[in-house]
Amino acid sequence: MTYLAQKSISRRMLLRGAGAVIGLPLLDAMRPALAAPSVAGNKARRIAVVYVPNGIMMRDWQVAKVGSDFEFTRILKPLERFREDIVVVSGLSNHAANKAKGGGHAKASGSFLSGAIPKYTAGADVHAGTTFDQIAAQKFGPETRVPSLQLGCEDSRMIGNCDTGSSCAYTNSISWKNPDSPMAVEVNPRSVFERLFGTVDPSLDAETKAKRALYKKSILDLTRENTKSLVSSLGSTDRRKMDEYLTAIREVETRIAKAEKDPEIPTGEKPSGIPFSYREYVKLMFDLQTIAFQSDLTRVSTMMLGREGSVRVYPEIGVPDPHHPLTHHRNNEDFIEKVTKINVHHVELFSYFVERLKSTNDGDGSLLDHSTILYGGAISDGNQHSNHNLPLVIAGHAGGLKGGRHVAAAEKTPAANLFVDMLNRSGVEVESFGDSTGRLSL
């Protein structure tokens, strides 16, 4: 089938069936008639934040040389193969956290993406600021099925005291829809999958819901007829894209189903759908984000590899001790080494996400070409709860961002300056945000 002969289909087309819906990846058949694939391109841009808690061992993170000729440090080493796809950013500060009252972890994560001072409270009267990811969600939301995803791999409760009188809302969520509304973090892959591809009609009758729960039919089975009809009308290139995309969905479904049946997990210990292995858990969440971006179901996501104050243990990398207490190392070299191992492990997992985005086609490039991904945390030195010289990396090429560099901002430049740049590169035009003093030049 020649490109001219193809029937143009809408980018917003969905495959439906029995209460399920599947968005589509960008196909050649979605390009305007007579437009060459190399010219039509894809205008969608994505923003994601991958958050790490409890600070970083900065001596093994900090890059020494500014510019392109820098050496990767021990913690950043897993990203070296993506040198041309990343920018290491240093010198940025979260001044709001320094001005706030409350626990060192809560006020850091509670202000990180907004630059707003969080109210010191453990009650329901939490108050902080709208985060920059939600500014993007307001812009892109009308064009996508899901305005934004908020994912995590740990305790997501939003009430109670989680840090010396500071609400759990500040430690357990980094995304705020408005100053009074923290976004709940979803930790169950099954729930995320159902939100992306599940029930279309909320009034679906109880019998149909019960049957779906009983048989746990694949989303692909539920939409089989609709999918078959579409694929038969596509050219060979688009059929290959659809096959790769549907295969990825099936693999994620299979991994979720396996996690639900994992005999190693005692009944009731973890919610349905969470893998026993932390590594597999994180990868599954990254795969869900990749599919959501690929199908344009959403263009905005945040992912917390752990909540602030996390006491997760990492026996799989030789660290059976709780994370947070280790970060208060008091210069104990054994503690420092264990924290460094955790930091390296997190970057290794992030590199998996970068690889997935880089290897997924998206019109005239890859998902990574059309994305701006922030990796890092709201605390640099965990031993001191420092909010200066934050450990940050940007991956992706949205807005023509050139990688392969270490950019050092002037000391104590507001982190919000970076968020202004990320928003503009993603097509959200803003002159200022939070406590910014301008747009960081990348």
Provide the pLDDT for residue 156.
83
Task: Let me know: does 425 contact 128? Beta carbons within 8 Å.
Answer: no
Looking only at the bridges linking them, the beta strands covering 20-23 and 166-167 are unpaired
pLDDT at residue 22, as a whole number? 80
CA distance 135 to 127: 17
pLDDT of residue 2: 34
Report which secondary-structure segment, H or E, holds 398. Answer: none
Section 169-190 average pLDDT: 96
Task: Give the mean model confidence (pLDDT) for residues 281-302.
Answer: 96
Where does residue 59 fall: left (phi above 0), alpha (psi -120 to 50 degrees), or beta otherwise?
Answer: alpha
Which residues are CB-contacts of 263 (< 8 A; sequence separation ≥ 6)? none
Percentage of the chain exceeding pLDDT 90:
70
**Residue 54 reports pLDDT greater than 70:** yes
pLDDT of 165 over the 70 cut: yes
Q: What percent of the chain has pLDDT over 70?
A: 87
Q: What value does the mean pLDDT take over residues 128-139? A: 98
What confidence score (pLDDT) does residue 213 get?
A: 52
- Summarize the confidence of residues 299-307 as an average pLDDT: 98
Number of H helices, E strands in the chain: 14, 15
> Is it the case that residue 210 has pLDDT exceeding 70?
no
Confidence of residue 240 (pLDDT cuts 50, 70, 90): confident
Domains of the chain: 1-41+203-273 (no CATH), 44-187+299-442 (3.40.720)
Assess contact for 348 and 23: CB atoms under 8 A: no
User: Please, is 362 exposed, middle or buried when counting C-beta atoms within 10 Å of its C-beta (0-12, 13-18, 19+)?
Assistant: buried
Confidence at 30, pLDDT banded by 50, 70, 90: confident
Average pLDDT over residues 241-264: 81
Instruction: Report the C-alpha gap between 322 and 316 in whole angstroms.
Output: 13
pLDDT at 5 over 50: no
